């Protein structure tokens, strides 16, 4: 564990230290987000924060490569090279988009390209979330892999609308995923918990934690498409890598009455918030006759702000939802399912009450005003008679 914590710390330190220079560079080059009607910001925000996250990630991976204890991860360089190439392609595309607002079709092609790179380097969906059943042949696996890569990248891109939201949700997901894969690997190789997914999640968690102090409300910089797409790519890469391990050694994935397909469902649970927002956005825009990629002000975070929550309150509430789902899913592997289910039920009830709080208070005020109005009308009728 200590070596992964070192990776996490290095990634966080580099990301934190590099963000201010990146901010100044973005302002000097005129790369910032203008004030738009759909945006929450009331002032221009420098972009390219994702560049600091990217370098933080690379720094953590470099430290791991120089650590003898983690050398097992780099014995097979093919998947590592694939991850690095895919991340580089996405970051270059994001930097270009943040600077020049490139056409959405170009971004889509880059996302597809990142998926293809992962497939060519042996990272792809191999097990369906039903027992340990393999997913078709190579062509089907490759197609589904590319689809999931594009889906997840855009899901994280969609939730990047409030200060600290995407980075915080990614950090929570990475923390839960890291805990799961670390303990899972220990159960398989007691004296060698080195695993590419665990390493990626440790580096991602650190890079997000280093960026968050600069990005939380009121933010001094935003991650832009560079960061949002990178977060989605790293998360989906971890999910795909886990399914490959599942097919190789399915019996090791049976924790305390939990079926073998938990490694496939866990990444989906970790990413449930961005995926839900993406699904609702596509449905909403399609029903209005618009392109699914057209921007609007109908995301989950917009709804919370419109209901009366402040910017930080809305972000923290979405953190709560993401944390409940992510860590609740992980807990099923290590605690009695009855207790976990009960705890999740209580937490979800509390989160629901908090989420609906402004609406419930407005409804109560309307009911109170209506009661007062009726009482006054009754008193007036009584006085007239």
Which tokens sit at 269? 């649970």
> What is the predicted pLDDT for the residue at 253?
43
Distance from chain centroid for Cα 320:
13
What pLDDT tens digit does each residue of the chain (385 aa) get? 899 999 999 999 999 999 999 999 999 999 987 765 555 556 778 989 999 999 999 999 999 999 988 988 998 899 999 999 999 999 999 999 999 989 989 999 999 999 999 999 999 887 654 444 556 678 888 999 999 899 889 888 877 777 888 899 899 989 988 988 888 777 766 666 678 999 999 999 999 999 999 999 888 999 999 999 999 999 989 888 876 554 444 444 443 334 344 444 555 555 566 666 667 667 766 777 776 655 655 556 566 666 667 778 888 888 888 888 888 878 877 788 889 889 989 998 998 888 777 766 767 777 788 788 888 887 777 776 6
Distance from chain centroid for Cα 325:
12
Distance from chain centroid for Cα 271:
5
Spell 296-323 as b/e; 16+ CB within 10 A means b: eeebbbbebbeeebebebbbbbbbbbbb
Which tokens sit at 343? 């705890």
Residue identified by tokens 């490139």 is 102
> What is the predicted pLDDT for the residue at 308?
66
Are 317 and 355 in contact by the 8 Å Cβ rule? The answer is yes
H-helix segments, 271-336: 272-287, 300-307, 311-331
Residue 134 DSSP symbol: B
3-state secondary structure of 38: coil
Are 57 and 97 in contact by the 8 Å Cβ rule? The answer is no
> What is the predicted pLDDT for the residue at 321?
83
Largest CA distance in the chain: 94
> What is the predicted pLDDT for the residue at 248?
44
Tell me if the bond preceding 29 is cis, omega within 30° of 0: no
R_g of the chain computed on alpha carbons:
23
> What is the predicted pLDDT for the residue at 327?
87
Residue 220 DSSP symbol: S
Task: With CA atoms as reference, report the closest residue to 245 among 125, 118, 149, 161.
Answer: 125
For Cα atoms 312, 95, 174, give the angle at the middle one, nearest 5 degrees: 50
Tell me how far apart the alpha carbons of residues 51 and 326 are, in angstroms, rounded to a whole number.
Answer: 26
Parallel, antiparallel, or unpaired for β 32-33 and 45-46? Answer: antiparallel
Total-model pTM = 0.82
Residue 33 DSSP symbol: E
Residue identified by tokens 């007691």 is 190
Tell me how far apart the alpha carbons of residues 342 and 221 are, in angstroms, rounded to a whole number.
Answer: 40
> What is the predicted pLDDT for the residue at 175?
92
């Amino acid at each position: 564990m200590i070596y992964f914590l070192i990776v996490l710390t290095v990634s966080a330190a580099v990301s934190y230290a590099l963000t201010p220079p990146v901010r100044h560079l973005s302002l000097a080059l005129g790369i910032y987000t203008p004030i738009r009607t759909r945006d929450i910001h009331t002032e221009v925000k420098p972009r390219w924060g994702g560049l600091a996250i990217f370098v933080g990630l690379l720094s953590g991976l470099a430290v791991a490569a120089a650590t003898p204890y983690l050398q097992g991860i780099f014995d097979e360089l093919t998947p590592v090279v694939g991850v690095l190439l895919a991340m580089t392609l996405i970051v270059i595309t994001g930097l270009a988009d943040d600077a020049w607002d490139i056409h959405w079709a170009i971004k889509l092609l880059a996302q597809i390209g990142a998926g293809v790179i992962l497939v060519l380097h042996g990272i792809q969906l191999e097990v369906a979330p039903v027992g340990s059943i393999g997913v078709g042949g190579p062509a089907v696996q490759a197609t589904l892999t590319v689809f999931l890569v594009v889906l997840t990248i855009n899901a994280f891109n969609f939730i990047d609308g409030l200060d600290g939201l995407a980075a915080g949700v990614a950090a929570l997901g990475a923390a839960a995923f890291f805990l799961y894969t670390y303990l899972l690997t220990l159960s398989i190789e007691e004296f060698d918990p080195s695993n590419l997914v665990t390493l990626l999640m440790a580096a991602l968690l650190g890079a997000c934690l280093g960026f968050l102090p600069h990005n939380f409300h009121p933010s001094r910089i935003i991650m832009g498409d560079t960061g949002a797409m990178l977060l989605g790519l790293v998360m989906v890469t971890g999910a795909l890598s886990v399914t490959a391990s599942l097919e190789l050694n399915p019996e090791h994935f049976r924790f305390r009455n939990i079926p073998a397909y938990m490694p496939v469902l866990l990444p989906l649970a970790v990413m449930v918030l961005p995926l839900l927002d993406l699904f609702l956005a596509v449905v909403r825009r399609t029903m209005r006759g618009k392109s699914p990629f057209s921007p609007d002000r109908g995301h989950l975070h917009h709804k919370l702000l419109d209901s009366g929550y402040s910017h930080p309150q809305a972000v923290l509430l979405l953190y709560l939802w993401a944390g409940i789902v992510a860590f609740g899913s992980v807990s099923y592997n290590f605690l009695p399912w009855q207790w976990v289910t009960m705890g999740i039920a209580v937490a979800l009830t509390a989160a629901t009450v908090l989420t609906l709080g402004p609406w419930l208070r407005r409804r109560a005020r309307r009911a109170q005003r209506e009661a007062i109005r009726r009482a006054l009308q009754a008193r007036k009728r009584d006085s007239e008679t």
